[in-house]
Amino acid sequence: MRLECNNLNFTYPGSRIAVINNLSFSMKNPGFNSLFGPSGVGKTSLAKMIANSNFKSNSDIVTEEIDTILYSYNLERLPGWSSTGKHLNKVTSPENQSLKEQLIEIFELNDVLDSRFSKLSMGQQNRMNLIRYLMQDFDLLIMDESLANVDEKLRETIILAIKELFSDKMFLYISHNLMEVSKFCSQILVFGKSPEKKECFVIEGQDCKKGYLLDKKLLDMTMLEIMNAF
């Protein structure tokens, strides 16, 4: 399993400033990886390009053993005419019913299955929407701030569970939480801060899994390396 970009460029129509400029990187193997950097540097633009099959026609973006790519993002909303439980049932195959129930328990959403999506808090909406994507068939799932508005302890529980239950899948996790990205991700593509500084660097994270023993010094070194990459 491999995701690779080769000298990728992208500028929005009508703009003179490139959002993505001569970007090259490679990420291999299943697991949690990250796109990290301040707002406005091109993380979401890159994520949408990776998810859009039209951008993979000229070898700028290469996917090996990655056929289905899904893109989940913060503030994505579901229609309010049905309960959240019914929404999940529509995208869950019979063989995944047990997994769906397990995720609902882990994500702490049992109490809102009979509620309409619009009645949920923002954190509950994001968790419900993420389960909806996890129940679909995918090889790579892009999580663009998909756990925003979820408290830190529950976010950690969810990330560790996803890594354990979907160990054969690749994830691209977009978050502004430096410690979280450093702690749980394997490969971190770090974007520069300013439009003039378009360099990107792949940094190895700690890739902590369930039952991990965190080495605080190594975590601090990873966070410092990411900050220096800016």
- The per-residue pLDDT for range 166-222, each reduced to its tens digit, is 999 999 999 999 999 999 999 999 987 654 555 688 999 999 998 888 899 999 999
**Which stretches does DSSP call E strand in 99-139?**
none
Taking only the tens place, the pLDDT of each residue in 130-139 is 999 999 999 9
CA Rg value for the chain: 18
Average pLDDT score, the chain:
90
For residue 36, how far is the Cα from the chain centroid? 11
Q: How confident is the model at residue 14 (pLDDT cuts 50, 70, 90)?
A: confident
Asked if residue 140 lies in contact with residue 170, where contact means CB atoms within 8 angstroms, the answer is yes
With b for 16 or more beta-carbon neighbours within 10 A and e for fewer, the 41-53 pattern comes to bbbbebbebbbee
Average pLDDT over residues 4-26: 87
Domain ranges (residues) in the chain: 2-229
The percent of residues above 70 in pLDDT, for the chain, comes to: 93
Q: Which residue do the tokens 């969810």 mark?
A: 158
Global pTM exceeds 0.85: yes
Rounded CA-CA distance 141/137 in Å is 10
Average pLDDT over residues 118-131: 94
- Top-tier CATH class for 2-229: alpha beta
